[in-house]
Chain A
Amino acid sequence: MSGTGGSKKMTCAEFQEVLPYIFESGGDASEMEHLKTCPICSDLVRDLRYIADQAKLLLPLRDPSPQVWDNIQNSLEREGLVRQQAKAHSAGKKKLMEQP
């Protein structure tokens, strides 16, 4: 296995032990050397980067049910946080503010 030969070379176990802490920075010379020469650890890092990159592309899932706004509105009124006169316009204008 790569990384276990020379006495001064980093092993896979050593590399993977520090990986959480060097993932973003890239690590020092010996860690980078191990990554360059070890197919197992380079596959691992590639996979983890791929997962992180794909996660960044995830979009918001979906809207909550309409009941959520109804509950919020009731609570706002109960707590006196809203001016009552504006409520009459609310239903008709609701859809205009929906996100696409």
Chain B
Amino acid sequence: MPGLTEAAAIEQAKGGDSIAFEALYGLHKRRVYSLCLRMTGNTAEAEDLTQEAFLQLYRKIGTFRGESAFSTWLHRLSVNVVLMHLRKKGLPEVSLEETLEPQQEDGPKKDIGARDNVLAGSIDRVNLERAIENLPPGYRIIFVLHDIEGYEHNEIAEMMGCSIGNSKSQLHKARMKLRDLLKLSKAEKAARR
């Protein structure tokens, strides 16, 4: 729709204009879908959740008053849709509180006494995306929300129903696990040469 601003599309969508709905979908589908895909790690689930997020958006758009940016509102709504879905599946928030204690295989102490090559300069986007996909679900969600989507720990704690300390702890474990995965990938690449 040429010349239609986001603000105009929002107002028209409030009146049930299907072109405006489609315009908003076109503007935000990629980011919403990517959020869903990174959080779930599953294409089919991500598509279902994208669909559900936009349907909720359209049902609730009349309540959008512009106190925050529309994209912020939509992404928060989308995160809640994904978290609700994962909660229904019993993943991964069930294990979130249980993983507060550092685990042996990926706890922070394993680095003591073992200085490896640093990662700086060695990560490419494909490797990082692959490593994120391989994170355990609980770690992956916190990492996506904080490090990719830019949510603060207090926001994550509120959305996930956990403490801020727990969010920080999970994020740290996620980054530690990613470090291991990326180092492994780096070593495999070096061995092939």
Contacts and interface: CB of A to CB of B under 8 A. Distances in A.
Interface of A: 1, 12-13, 16-17, 19-21, 23, 39-41, 43-44, 46-48, 50-52, 54-58, 60-65, 67-69, 71-73, 75-76, 79, 81-84, 86-87, 89-90, 93-94, 96-99
Interface residues of B, number: 59
Contacts of A52: 147, 175
Where chain B touches its partner, the secondary structure class is helix
B34 A12 contact: no
Nearest to B2: A96
Interface of B: 1-2, 15-19, 21-23, 25-27, 29-31, 33-34, 37-38, 46-47, 50-51, 54-55, 58-59, 108-109, 111-116, 118-120, 123, 125, 128-129, 132, 143, 147-148, 150, 165, 168-169, 171-173, 175-176, 178-179, 182
B85 to A, nearest CB: 15
Contacts of B21: 72, 76, 81-82
Given A62-B30, A65-B47, A76-B55, A16 B148 contact: no
Where chain A touches its partner, the secondary structure class is helix
A72 B119 CA distance: 43
11 contacts: A12-B112, A20-B108, A48-B176, A48-B179, A58-B129, A61-B34, A61-B129, A62-B33, A64-B33, A68-B29, A72-B54
